[in-house]
Structure 1
Amino acid sequence: MLIKKIFQTPRSLALLIAIIVSLLTGIGFVLISTLPKNQQLLILIAYTLFVFTITFLASLILVNLFVSKRIKPLYKALYSIDKANADLVEELDQNNLLQRLEYDLRIWVEAHADEIDRLKQMERYRKEFLGNVSHELKTPIFNIQGYVLTLLDGGLEDPTINRRYLERTEKSINRLIGIVEDLELITKLEAGELQLNMERFNIINLIEETFEALEHRARKRNITVKFDKDYSKPIWVYADKKRISQALYNLVINSINYGKDGGKTTVSITDIGTRVQVEVNDNGIGIDQKDLPRIFERFYRVDKSRSREQGGTGLGLAIVKHIIEGHKQVIGVRSSLNQGTTFSFTLDKPGR
């Protein structure tokens, strides 16, 4: 324990060297004072050389021990190299080892501080994600449980409620299936495991098919879905048709869910050289600026009660983002509260 304390700091080493020198000097003084005067000078010179040699060797040994105990582990941790003590002492002798260690250690601390912050953030997201998944799954499961218990308690024989409760049970089951399928899809997208089947297709036709699929939903909400103008000619793109259809569906249904009564959703296409830009614009409730940075996160909801009421999984926009980025394209959003929202993304044109 005492040896470990001695090599903890340079100050303790210096103290030990001072003690050694003081003891040798004291012993020498006593010995020289007992000699005849005509021999004292010669003995003093010889003894001085002896003290210098002993002190130098002791200092060298102590420095080597200090390097071995303190600097070597730090060097190994920073550079993953097990360097010999002698080499480290030589570098220390050249007056650049400590400067390099100080600089590299500072860089290492900064880099790992960022990594630690990132890991903490990931842990927060993980907990939030698990909490959201639990909540999303719990709601339809409890609904199903309630409907089934009601039917078992006699509702099954009551023709006024049995079919209605079975239909509600089916709706909750479909919502569960939707959540599981979306989770599976986004997991594959994030892991880069989903293969894109690239093909040439007319984006105008795909948007028209999306309008037709959501016509009933839009009419129910008294919202008009349309193009910004008449596109008489086809506009060809090169992408995975199925995935882009899914992205368009999610964006348009999102605009309907967050639209105002009597509102409208407008889709426009712009030629931007080797790409086309698709915009889905609505005049709905809009998004607060503080929510915009998180709008593409899994399960993030701007209006929680409203989106759950519409039956969404909370994964739609996250899936859209990963689909578009999987095509090596960009997606953006701009919005003003109570004025509306515009989502835009790009797609490549077919090669010539």
Structure 2
Amino acid sequence: MLATSRGISLVLALAISALVAAFLSLMDDATTLLILVAGALSFSASYLLINITLEFLVFREIGNIYSLLEKIQKKDLSEIASKTSKSSISPLRKINSVINSYALARQKEIDTLQKNAEFRREFIADISHELKTPIFATQGYIHTLLDGAMDDKQVRMKFLKRAAKSLDSLDILVQDLLTLNQMESGVIKFHFSDFDLKEIIEEVIDELEHKASKRKVKINFKYDPEKSFITHADRQKIYRVCQNLIFNAVKYNHDEGEVKINLKAQKNHIQVEIKDDGQGIPPEDLKRIFERFYRVEKSRNKKEGGTGLGLAIVKHILEGHKSKISVSSTVGKGSIFSFSLPLSKSANQEEITKTDSSNLK
């Protein structure tokens, strides 16, 4: 009984009333009735005040702390996250709030560590798989040559070319990994300058024209010739972004398909939109296509080639320009990738001047 708030309140109230009665009994003019009334009043008042204080400021908060600790042990933080700390005169409420915040912070750290561990396992498995293919292929060709095929000139040249091609693929994979790692760690610096984004896209189209013509894929580039498309960005890295996106639009399109590239200059930025009419991307894969080595169709992508790092690099390059890549896709109809870059201040001023001149006319 004494462990409860009522029991403690009763004992303390009796002690206080006894002290009051004893003190009054020392007074000469104190009557027995006065002593009894004073003792009863002091008992009642002390009991109520102590009980309320213990119940609402101590025991209830201790109970909340125990409940919180039990939820932390069970890793049930759903209700904890929704509770907000309220101002209170009780120091135990503050302790409760501190434990709450600490539990949430530690759980976030644990979740992050678990995600990193899972990502590390997937990354090691993916990179092992990616490295294994060109290494095993090269080993096979070289060992075949060493086992006697080297004497046949025709076979020798054929196998050496294949081994060289596998090593080139391995080199591209390693370079992409280094590039991505340097971007994530902030080692690679961006060199910003003004350049014409339209010219960049035209260069990429010229570069991919031969590959597109092999599959009779038509590349349609639309832009307003009256507009200026001067942007302030890293020219080399934006070239790689355009190269990767347009290359993917050609590679994953169907034969005799079409790639549409729309370039639009708006008030303060330039919008680039690359659309293909290929097989599209399933909804469950859209959120993961920018992850390292993630492939929508692993067999088809392996056949087509590529390191599986291109879109991850594109994402990091655009994030370095304070922009982001957007994608929408419909299975069987194709995909649309888009991003935006800031319109150069000089180009923006030139556009304003043209508008003013046309208004004067």
Query: TM (normalized to structure 2)?
Result: 0.69
- Tell me the equivalent position of 2:232: 238
- Tell me the equivalent position of 2:111: 117
Residues 228, 265 of structure 2: 8 Å contact kept: no
Aligned-pair CA distance for 1:216: 2.1
Which residue type is aligned with residue 260 of structure 2? T
Which residue type is aligned with residue 198 of structure 1? F
Determine if the alignment matches structure 1 residue 335 to structure 2 residue 335: no
Equivalent residues in 2 for 1:183-332, closer than 5 Å: 183-228=177-222, 231=225, 235-332=229-326
| Whole-angstrom distance in 2 between the partners of 1:232 and 1:96 | 70
Aligned-pair CA distance for 1:277: 0.7
Residues 227, 265 of structure 2: 8 Å contact kept: no
Aligned-pair CA distance for 1:220: 2.4
The residue matched to 1:160 in structure 2 has which SS? Answer: helix
Q: For residues 209-248 of structure 1, give each alpha carbon's deviation from its aligned partner in whole angstroms, at most 9, with x where no partner exists.
A: 1111112222223322230357476521111110001111
User: Are the structure 2 counterparts of residues 230 and 152 from structure 1 closer, same or farther at C-alpha, using a change threshold of 3 Å?
Assistant: farther
Q: Percent identity?
A: 40
Alignment partner of 1:148 out of 142, 153, 176: 142
The residue matched to 1:237 in structure 2 has which SS? Answer: strand
Aligned-pair CA distance for 1:324: 0.6
Residues 281, 342 of structure 1: 8 Å contact kept: yes
Which residue type is aligned with residue 334 of structure 2? G
Residues 217, 258 of structure 2: 8 Å contact kept: yes
| Whole-angstrom distance in 2 between the partners of 1:163 and 1:234 | 51
Residues 204, 231 of structure 1: 8 Å contact kept: no
Q: For residues 276-330 of structure 1, give each alpha carbon's deviation from its aligned partner in whole angstroms, at most 9, with x where no partner exists.
A: 0111110011100011111111111001111111220000000000001101112
Structure 2, unaligned stretches of length 5 or more? 9-64, 66-87, 347-361
Equivalent residues in 2 for 1:19-168, closer than 5 Å: 96-168=90-162
The residue matched to 2:339 in structure 1 has which SS? Answer: strand
The residue matched to 1:146 in structure 2 has which SS? Answer: helix
- Tell me the equivalent position of 1:172: 166
Structure 1, unaligned stretches of length 5 or more? 1-8, 15-70, 72-93
The residue matched to 1:267 in structure 2 has which SS? Answer: strand
Residues 231, 270 of structure 2: 8 Å contact kept: yes
Q: For residues 35-92 of structure 1, give each alpha carbon's deviation from its aligned partner in whole angstroms, at most 9, with x where no partner exists.
A: xxxxxxxxxxxxxxxxxxxxxxxxxxxxxxxxxxxx9xxxxxxxxxxxxxxxxxxxxx
Residues 230, 343 of structure 2: 8 Å contact kept: yes
Counting matched residue pairs gives 265
Aligned-pair CA distance for 1:159: 2.6
| Whole-angstrom distance in 2 between the partners of 1:163 and 1:230 | 51
User: Are the structure 2 counterparts of residues 184 and 102 from structure 1 closer, same or farther at C-alpha, using a change threshold of 3 Å?
Assistant: same
